[in-house]
Amino acid sequence: METPFSLVYGSDGMIPVEIHESSPRFQSFVAEESNEETTVNLDLLDEAREEARIKVEAVNRRVEHQYSSKVKPRQFQVTDLVMRKAHPYELENKLSPKWTGPFRVTEAKGNGTYMLETLEGGPIPRSWNASNLKFYFN
């Protein structure tokens, strides 16, 4: 496991407490050996950085896969009837309906974003993400 300091500077850092309290690491310090180790560490620094980048990429892919496996993709067509998630200020109490509507989809803007209107034809002023919408069934 590499620390951010070692990935930048090629060696482990020493905190001031280790110097003032004369830790075993500080007492066993030999300048000549340190210079040799620093040279070796600098030679291996690019490999350590590449290994760290690969590990970060692997973690990001696992997180993305886990998130994607839980997402339920929803796509709506123009003229579909949908319900939208109610805002907290629209809820009077904990027994209030969590969904409002129905609304009609008037435009699909892409990336799961939709424009809505009321059934009477009044436009809803902003776009809505598909995660806040669900199909309305009569």
pLDDT category at 116 given cuts 50, 70, 90 is very high
The tens digit of pLDDT for each residue in 21-62 reads 776 666 666 667 667 777 777 777 888 889 889 999 999 999
* Spatial contact of 61 and 67, defined as CB atoms under 8 Å apart: no
Handedness of CA 105, 108, 109, 114 (dihedral sign): positive
Q: How high does pLDDT run on average in the chain?
A: 82
The tens digit of pLDDT for each residue in 13-25 reads 766 766 667 766 6
- Assess whether pLDDT exceeds 70 at residue 103: yes
Please give the Cα distance from 70 to 95 (Å, whole number).
27
The DSSP result for 42-53, as a single string, is HHHHHHHHHHHH
- Residue 79: CA count within 13 A, CB half-sphere: 0
Beta sheet of 113-118, edge-to-edge order: 128-129, 113-118, 99-110, 81-85, 133-135
| Buried b or exposed e, range 19-41, using 16+ CB within 10 angstroms | eeeeeeeeeeeeeeeeeeeeeee
Q: What domains can you pick out in the chain, each with its CATH number?
A: 4-70 (no CATH), 81-135 (2.30.30.140)
Please give the Cα distance from 59 to 1 (Å, whole number).
14
- Assess whether pLDDT exceeds 80 at residue 92: yes
Please give the Cα distance from 101 to 90 (Å, whole number).
12
Please give the Cα distance from 128 to 117 (Å, whole number).
11
**What pTM does this model have?**
0.50
- Kindly state the tokens that stand for 70: 């839980």
- Assess whether pLDDT exceeds 80 at residue 97: yes
